[in-house]
Structure 1
């Protein structure tokens, strides 16, 4: 496909697009980063990372989230020691990783397009390689899933970055071979899975791709295909072998199913994988993404089938596995477990946009997708309220003599929004209260996650409302020490 680039013009076009992608993506990831209170999941990350030393971090992380190595928690621990524990400070580490991932997506796009254009080295094809990679980076930079996950103090942004590096090495090993590429594939595969076991879904897609390569036995250019499926398979297997000591900890995840740790996930419908991508990208941007991803998939399939199969497996296998697990074991199909599967979707979308013959139409399509993505992502930037901070302030009123507060699954969220001086003196009692607890709390914080039956049982013992902040209610016993507070 002919492109009218001046000498070096493609470099300027790609460079400008990449700079725009990094600037826009960084702005979306850091803008008003501390304007909303922590979520329950973020408070767990804070509890795991806020120990006084590394030993304490390892101990708490094992108690709260066993079955994975605390790579993110250790990094967050060091980050908070330097920058503090505010909402913005905690979220700035994933936001920074998310901004760096924009460059990783550009490199990944280059690798995909170099493989697809192997055997052709003229300036037009070389220019198309970098233009498509820059467009992909721009779409990733403004896409809602990547922006949303980078604004949360959770490990998923880091896991996504490891996966990106791992697949870059996979493609380089396929294209060039070399010990360094095999070693990178092994190391970053192990690191990604150790950060969060959902990364194993991508490894499974790659394993199927290697089986496909072995079965296809398609003729290929030796220079562009310096590695074989067996060698890459050994590299992936070596990564899994290195993680064997951690696999024994998976039993805690299995026990978590029995404890009801995943009961918050709703059972999926048969079309849930499709709906997950639609809700993840946004209802308005999704049709454009789907259209150009299909066009890009067809284009890449014609150009080079091997890389097209890899991207399709990367998109499709993780949601299929989670859907099957949801029916067989427990509901587990949520967007953040599929966060990396949006990247190949973005790559195919970029290829589809770039395959439009008219330069003006390509620009219109890219501007339309970027604009819709920015509007959708920025809709979540409205400042939040201080409901948890206000509820904790009422519950910890100085007029109360017994320093105990009742809470449900939000015990760490309550602990975070206490004043730091109170964290060592106030005991947070999780309800339902243990019979061995001789001093029941005089005040309880009821959150939206409490079931109506449980809330009714608590209200019988704690009938006095001392404060209400949106959907969070602070209640007290009749002999409680708190005075009734204004309802906000």
Structure 2
């Protein structure tokens, strides 16, 4: 039922006694109640700003040293552009983030804080885009009968808070990898797509082509998202004549990104044939639900946040406000249905590829679906009544920032601890051996940054050295390698007058017990002492010292 607005005899509308949000009376309220309402609004605004600022600061607050993937990324990005592109052929990634980091390093250097700042700034740039996307989602909900005039503002604010306080966004906003860029580009791609569908002008279609190209040049999992959208547009163009022109034009604009991707196609095909993810394990179907809890963080606060986010996402999918309250429509509402599809379908495709094709399914790759999920949750929050909305927002801010703090402040590698111990014990000419090779980049970086350590460094089954991991036919190469042969080589390199330091971690896929064999073979020839025990961190490792020959 439409609201009735009273008018005076002259025809002038009489202002209603309620404020726009339905919080309370305006002039008719007692002065004390009016002041309390004003203070409540100011407190909510202050709390919102504080949460956003805290989330922004946490993106730059990690004390951790760079772990394997970050060290690899920096070593590739610091090379001349030709060497960078060549190194990526054996790494398995597309080049956009590496080229951005290459320019960033030339300006600010390769320090831990400097190289991570790029991801932090990209993550911060996501926040205003998320606010705009949230308002757009709220506007579509309102025009579809799933909201009112104030819904866009509420959903926009909720989206801003969700992205600012997201543990996933905080974690990868503090890591020298491309995942913050992926989240930003997914949002920009979505906005470009919606604008192109509304009015398929040449300029908007060009922007959509650029956004699609940027996505596929950043991470290959974005193919799953782009493919999902392309199929949806093709179906819409075929089934609904009124959408045929706009959907067909948008689909053509996305397809035009293939021309932009063509120069990289030879490298892409080489990577598909020879790199892949040999370290990945098979996952179970429950990973689709686990992903939400991975986004929410590993602690008990993360479990609470995951439950709350799933609940409000369900409301965003099915909720329809009416005069007598919020109703849930089981078949879903627009735009919740579209957001749910963009959240789930790419993850289902990734799961199927993992199951039948062996490709990795890992939490950090799932950023392609995070924006759709958080926007769906923001829509659900925007549909809640005032007090419930505030309570849910408070829980999300507290649990999200708590989880983000835990994830940002955790040490991710023992590389610095191991490098410090080697520095304290090693003499010029001693040998540092790495098994598996994946421990090499982080420890090598930590050793090199000391600048005063003259040691020989050698890597298991990789003659290229410890700075990079060569993923070219990795599993085949590891199966052919021999732990006993590597131990003999290391022993010969050290000779009778130098010690051997073995940086070791067991349990890596494709290596089986090779690193234990290396250690045991060296222990037959030299005295073994453990200098650093492996701890339960993201990239744990032990350090063993083998003395000069007896």
TM-score, normalization by structure 2:
0.75
CA contact (8 A) 1:403 1:426 kept: yes
> Any idea what the Cα deviations from partners look like across 1:31-89, whole Å, max 9, x if unmatched?
2x2x11222111111211223x43443343334x2452x22122222323333323222
Instruction: Report the Cα offset of residue 291 of structure 1.
Output: 1.2
In structure 1, stretches of 5+ residues that fail to align are 220-224, 482-488
CA contact (8 A) 1:111 1:172 kept: no
- Alignment partner of 1:134 is 2:157: yes
Instruction: Report the Cα offset of residue 128 of structure 1.
Output: 2.2
Q: 1:285 aligns with which of 294, 305, 330?
A: 305
Question: Which residue of structure 1 aligns with residue 119 of structure 2?
Answer: 94
Q: 2:503 aligns with which of 439, 445, 449?
A: 445
Question: Which residue of structure 2 aligns with residue 417 of structure 1?
Answer: 446
Instruction: Report the Cα offset of residue 112 of structure 1.
Output: 2.5
Instruction: Report the Cα offset of residue 26 of structure 1.
Output: 0.7
Alignment partners' CA distance in 2, 1:110 and 1:180: 22
Instruction: Report the Cα offset of residue 202 of structure 1.
Output: 1.3
Change (3 A) 1:341 1:169: same
Question: Which residue of structure 1 aligns with residue 285 of structure 2?
Answer: 270
Instruction: Report the Cα offset of residue 204 of structure 1.
Output: 1.3
Q: 1:298 aligns with which of 318, 328, 348?
A: 318
Instruction: Report the Cα offset of residue 339 of structure 1.
Output: 0.8
CA contact (8 A) 1:213 1:306 kept: no
1:104-253 correspondence runs (5 A) = 104-118=129-143, 125-217=148-240, 228-253=246-271
User: Aligned with 2:277: secondary structure?
Assistant: coil
Alignment partners' CA distance in 2, 1:343 and 1:370: 17
Question: Which residue of structure 2 aligns with residue 325 of structure 1?
Answer: 353
Q: 2:54 aligns with which of 21, 24, 39?
A: 24
- Alignment partner of 1:42 is 2:70: yes
Change (3 A) 1:67 1:93: closer
User: Aligned with 1:248: secondary structure?
Assistant: helix
Instruction: Report the Cα offset of residue 334 of structure 1.
Output: 1.3
Alignment partners' CA distance in 2, 1:199 and 1:169: 16
User: Aligned with 2:123: secondary structure?
Assistant: helix
Question: Which residue of structure 1 aligns with residue 474 of structure 2?
Answer: none
Instruction: Report the Cα offset of residue 28 of structure 1.
Output: 2.4
CA contact (8 A) 1:175 1:226 kept: no
Alignment partners' CA distance in 1, 2:403 and 2:449: 36
User: Aligned with 1:360: secondary structure?
Assistant: helix
Alignment partners' CA distance in 2, 1:268 and 1:359: 40
Alignment partners' CA distance in 1, 2:214 and 2:220: 10
Change (3 A) 1:199 1:16: farther
Larger Rg: 1 or 2?
Answer: 2
Alignment partners' CA distance in 2, 1:231 and 1:128: 30
Instruction: Report the Cα offset of residue 12 of structure 1.
Output: 10
Question: Which residue of structure 2 aligns with residue 57 of structure 1?
Answer: 84
Instruction: Report the Cα offset of residue 206 of structure 1.
Output: 0.9
Alignment partners' CA distance in 1, 2:340 and 2:184: 20
Alignment partners' CA distance in 1, 2:237 and 2:42: 39
CA contact (8 A) 1:445 1:475 kept: yes
User: Aligned with 1:44: secondary structure?
Assistant: helix
Give the alignment's Cα RMSD to 1 decimal.
3.5
Alignment partners' CA distance in 2, 1:272 and 1:312: 16
CA contact (8 A) 2:68 2:442 kept: yes
Q: Which moved more, 1:378-387 or 1:190-199?
A: 378-387
Alignment partners' CA distance in 2, 1:424 and 1:111: 56
Alignment partners' CA distance in 2, 1:428 and 1:162: 39
Alignment partners' CA distance in 1, 2:352 and 2:412: 39
Change (3 A) 1:141 1:465: same
Question: Which residue of structure 1 aligns with residue 473 of structure 2?
Answer: none
CA contact (8 A) 1:67 1:246 kept: no
User: Aligned with 2:380: secondary structure?
Assistant: helix
The total of aligned residue pairs comes to 462
CA contact (8 A) 2:134 2:378 kept: no
Question: Which residue of structure 2 aligns with residue 454 of structure 1?
Answer: 514
Change (3 A) 1:371 1:421: closer
Change (3 A) 1:156 1:6: closer
CA contact (8 A) 1:405 1:429 kept: yes
TM-score, normalization by structure 1:
0.84
CA contact (8 A) 2:66 2:412 kept: no
Change (3 A) 1:109 1:202: same
Instruction: Report the Cα offset of residue 466 of structure 1.
Output: 5.4
Change (3 A) 1:212 1:20: farther
In structure 2, stretches of 5+ residues that fail to align are 4-17, 23-37, 297-301, 321-327, 464-484, 495-499, 536-540
Alignment partners' CA distance in 1, 2:131 and 2:244: 22
Change (3 A) 1:226 1:304: farther
Question: Which residue of structure 1 aligns with residue 459 of structure 2?
Answer: 430
